[in-house]
Amino acid sequence: GENVEQHPSTLSVQEGDSAVIKCTYSDSASNYFPWYKQELGKRPQLIIDIRSNVGEKKDQRIAVTLNKTAKHFSLHITETQPEDSAVYFCAAYRSASKIIFGSGTRLSIRP
């Protein structure tokens, strides 16, 4: 069946450096790709999303890129800060009844 692979599962970066998380999806009909941030004990919250007709989207220090041909999309966080420490989830959305989440990446920011 359809799936979304997310890598790496854990990531540790020095404060101020960049972090990149990558997701690969299998369903070529997927057309919407959100990213969620989940702090410990909290709900997943949408931080950025991209639709299939766009190749890149940026919001301050966060950006997402999409390569439809290769069926992968990536989250880029620049100038990382301690508050960026969290678990990040990607998802591939084909329809409201077909949403597949990645398994998550635990990002730690070293001071």
Distance (Å, rounded) from C-alpha 54 to C-alpha 66? 7
Query: How, if at all, do strands 10-14 and 105-110 pair?
Result: parallel
Report the nearest approach of other proteins to the CB of residue 17 (Å).
25
Distance (Å, rounded) from C-alpha 4 to C-alpha 94? 12
- Closer of 36 and 85 to other proteins (Cβ): 36
27 binds other proteins (CB under 8 A): no
Phi and psi angles of residue 18, each rounded to the nearest 5 degrees, phi first: -95, 155
Q: Which of 20, 32, 62, 65 binds other proteins (CB under 8 A)?
A: 32
Report the nearest approach of other proteins to the CB of residue 104 (Å).
5
34 binds other proteins (CB under 8 A): yes
Phi and psi angles of residue 31, each rounded to the nearest 5 degrees, phi first: -135, 5
Residues binding other proteins (CB under 8 A)? 6, 32, 34, 36, 42-46, 49, 51, 89, 91, 93, 95-97, 99, 101-104
